[in-house]
Structure 1
Amino acid sequence: MKKYGEQFISCPHCGGHVGVILDTTQGNQDFYEDCPVCCHPIHLRMQLNQVKDNIDLDIDSDDEQIF
């Protein structure tokens, strides 16, 4: 699996395109990036799938409530 990769995502707040650098050397991660367009935080959850040799990336605005 690659150590670093860039993924382009859409901001859940404004819809702007954001380039995110993913570092796979630390395993599964849960982190935040600020949108360069609207400056709101974007919550990212990265899951490494070693069997399929790919990355599953979940994105949300972190202001969504789960009950």
Structure 2
Amino acid sequence: MNSLSERSVDCPYCGEKIDVLIDFEDIGNQYVEDCQVCCKPIVFSVSALEDSLEVLVRSEDDA
């Protein structure tokens, strides 16, 4: 079984749409990954939503 899911998210800094791979093992976790366009750190929060993944992104400055 493939534990990766490709998602498109908008960078909270530059607003560009970027494609990222989300690992199902990250459900319930937060991690930081740099934007592929502006290189600023994006905080990813991954959670399960019924039979799919919910991926929320924010800047490190957001509380």
The correspondence of residues 5-24 of structure 1 with structure 2, limited to 5 A, is 5-24=5-24
Give the match for residue 41 of structure 1.
41
Which 4+ residue blocks in structure 1 deviate beyond 6 angstroms?
Answer: none
Bigger mean CA offset, 4-13 vs 55-64: 55-64
Give the TM-score normalised by structure 1.
Answer: 0.80
Following TM superposition, by how much is the alpha carbon of 1:3 offset from its aligned partner in structure 2, in angstroms?
A: 1.5
Q: For structure 1, which runs of at least 5 residues remain unmatched after alignment?
A: none
Identity %: 29
**Structure 2 CA distance for partners of 1:21 and 1:39, relative to 1, 3 Å:** same
Give the match for residue 61 of structure 2.
63
SS in 2 for 1:14: coil
Distance of 1:26 and 1:20 partners within structure 2: 13
CA RMSD of aligned residues (A): 1.8
Following TM superposition, by how much is the alpha carbon of 1:57 offset from its aligned partner in structure 2, in angstroms?
A: 1.3
Distance of 1:63 and 1:26 partners within structure 2: 22
Following TM superposition, by how much is the alpha carbon of 1:26 offset from its aligned partner in structure 2, in angstroms?
A: 4.6
Structure 1 or 2, whichever has the larger Rg, is 1
Distance of 1:60 and 1:35 partners within structure 2: 11
SS in 1 for 2:9: strand
